[in-house]
């Protein structure tokens, strides 16, 4: 209040000016580059069809915004599409009539958005007011449902290619405390309270941004906008019945099924590979794992069959036969004059006796029997070829 009418009133400065941000702006910005640049969009009439007016002390007016078309145009521009301004064609028409503008140079739009805000219903609320001894709390709640429809139309054929219908409940609540007491003959009455209500037009802007996003997603593949849809918080908006939402759900289900099939196929291949490995291989692997050995030390299983301990592997027929030492001894005895008349059976019996005694065999292996030791006179005749001359 000014002291004099000749002095200006000091204006009250409230919160600073900021840009308008909604929870759906990040999803709209994510669509940049996902829509073809050679496809043009424009916005037609988006009217207030609620038929609701409000009358206050300052006058009368509409209960919802009359600039829904401009909000949709801002949302399209934020999505990065090629946008043509058809909100006020009077400037273009005037310049064309005046002959200063060739109307044929005006670019035509491929798609345009139209719609309306067509429902605004008040839901009966509730509340309570409790006082004991003149003191108690109070609470009341009311709701408003607002709905709108938007459509995306092909300009060449006038075919509706996308459509979305949204609604939102706008909540309002009031709570406080009342106190009334007598101070002598004086009544003291105190009321404290607070009211909360969503901004109706800001809620409509959120709805229009969300509807614009869904319109664009209905004309592009689900794989393109899957990551953009994930940027919308569930507590601010969720769609399940629109064509874009259904297409995204089917795409995600197909991708999940393909992933499960790939996993099942990999498991089957792994199981078949395990089944094709011989049982002996698994036993050998278990044996090596229980008794680890140096890789430089030869394994008993890799030695030649003649070095195996099993007698069946050395001689499957079970007949050991005379050894090399017995043959050398027999040949030496045959060349000896004193042993010509002795039968060959003596040599065989000596061989059998030698095999039955393990200790004797070990001693002979330590000190092998040579021809020189048996009969030195026949050594030259046995190992060396006689000169035919």
| pLDDT, tens digit, 9 for 90 and up, residues 251-305 | 989 988 888 888 878 878 878 777 775 544 554 555 555 554 444 555 555 544 4
In three-state secondary structure terms, 137 is strand
pTM of the model: 0.65
Task: Kindly state whether residue 388 falls inside one of the protein's structural domains.
Answer: no
pLDDT number for residue 332: 61
Residue 115 has pLDDT above 90, yes or no: yes
Task: Kindly state whether residue 207 falls inside one of the protein's structural domains.
Answer: yes
List CB contacts of 273: < 8 A, sequence separation 6 or more: none
| 304-344 residue pLDDT tens | 444 443 333 334 444 445 555 666 565 666 555 444 444 44
| 26-71 residue pLDDT tens | 999 999 989 999 999 999 999 999 988 888 777 788 889 999 999 9
Residue 192 has pLDDT above 80, yes or no: yes
pLDDT number for residue 352: 44
Task: Kindly state whether residue 118 falls inside one of the protein's structural domains.
Answer: yes
pLDDT number for residue 278: 54
Strand partners, 6: none
pLDDT number for residue 328: 58
How many domains are contained in the chain? 1
Give CA separation, 42 vs 22, 247, 294, 376, in Å. Answer: 22, 25, 79, 121
Task: Kindly state whether residue 99 falls inside one of the protein's structural domains.
Answer: yes
Nearest residue to 73 (alpha-carbon basis) of 243, 244, 240, 215: 215
Nearest residue to 205 (alpha-carbon basis) of 16, 18, 15, 20: 20
Determine the Cα–Cα distance for residues 347 and 335; give it in Å rounded to an integer: 14
Task: Kindly state whether residue 156 falls inside one of the protein's structural domains.
Answer: yes
Q: What is the DSSP track for 292-350? A: ---TTSPPGGGS-GGGSS-HHHH-TTS-----HHHHHHHHHHHHSGGGSSS-THHHHHH
Q: What is the residue range of 211's domain?
A: 24-124+152-170+198-258
Task: Kindly state whether residue 338 falls inside one of the protein's structural domains.
Answer: no
Determine the Cα–Cα distance for residues 216 and 231; give it in Å rounded to an integer: 15
Task: Kindly state whether residue 323 falls inside one of the protein's structural domains.
Answer: no
| 224-243 residue pLDDT tens | 999 999 999 999 998 888 89
Task: Kindly state whether residue 89 falls inside one of the protein's structural domains.
Answer: yes
Residue 191 has pLDDT above 70, yes or no: yes
Confidence of residue 7 (pLDDT cuts 50, 70, 90): confident
Note the Cα 290 to chain centre separation in Å.
Answer: 41
């Amino acid at each position: 209040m000014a002291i004099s009418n000749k002095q200006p009133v000091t204006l009250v400065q409230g919160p600073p000016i900021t840009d308008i941000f909604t929870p759906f702006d990040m999803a709209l910005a994510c669509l940049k580059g996902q829509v073809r640049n050679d496809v043009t969009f424009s916005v037609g009439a988006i009217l207030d069809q609620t038929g609701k007016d409000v009358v206050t002390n300052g006058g009368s007016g509409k209960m919802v915004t009359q600039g829904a078309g401009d909000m949709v145009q801002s949302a399209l521009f934020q999505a990065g599409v090629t946008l043509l301004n058809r909100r006020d064609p009077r400037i273009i028409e005037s310049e064309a009539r005046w002959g200063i503008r060739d109307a044929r140079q005006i670019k035509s739009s491929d798609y345009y958005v139209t719609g309306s805000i067509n429902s605004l219903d008040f839901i009966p609320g509730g509340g309570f007011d409790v006082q004991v001894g003149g003191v108690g709390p109070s609470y009341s709640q009311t709701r408003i449902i607002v709905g709108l429809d938007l459509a995306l139309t092909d300009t060449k054929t006038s075919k509706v290619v996308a459509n979305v219908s949204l609604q939102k409940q706008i909540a309002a609540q009031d709570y406080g405390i009342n106190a009334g007491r007598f101070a002598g003959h004086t009544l003291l009455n105190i009321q404290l309270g607070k009211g909360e209500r969503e901004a109706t037009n800001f809620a409509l802007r959120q709805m229009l941004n969300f509807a614009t996003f869904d319109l664009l997603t209905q004309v592009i593949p689900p794989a393109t906008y899957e990551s953009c849809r994930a940027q919308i918080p569930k507590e601010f908006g969720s769609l399940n019945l629109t064509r874009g939402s259904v297409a995204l759900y089917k795409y995600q289900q197909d991708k999940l099924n393909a992933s499960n099939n790939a996993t099942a196929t990999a498991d089957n291949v792994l199981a078949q590979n395990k089944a094709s490995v011989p049982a002996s291989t698994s036993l050998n692997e278990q044996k090596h794992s229980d008794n680890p050995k140096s890789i430089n030390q030869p394994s008993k299983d890799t030695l030649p069959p003649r070095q195996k301990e099993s007698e069946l592997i050395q001689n499957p027929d079970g007949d050991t036969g005379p050894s090399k030492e017995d043959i050398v001894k027999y040949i030496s005895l045959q060349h000896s004059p004193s042993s010509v008349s002795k039968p060959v059976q003596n040599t065989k019996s000596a061989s059998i006796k030698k095999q039955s005694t393990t200790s004797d065999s070990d001693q002979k292996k330590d000190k092998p029997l040579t021809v020189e030791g048996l009969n030195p006179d026949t050594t030259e005749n046995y190992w060396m070829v006689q000169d035919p001359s």
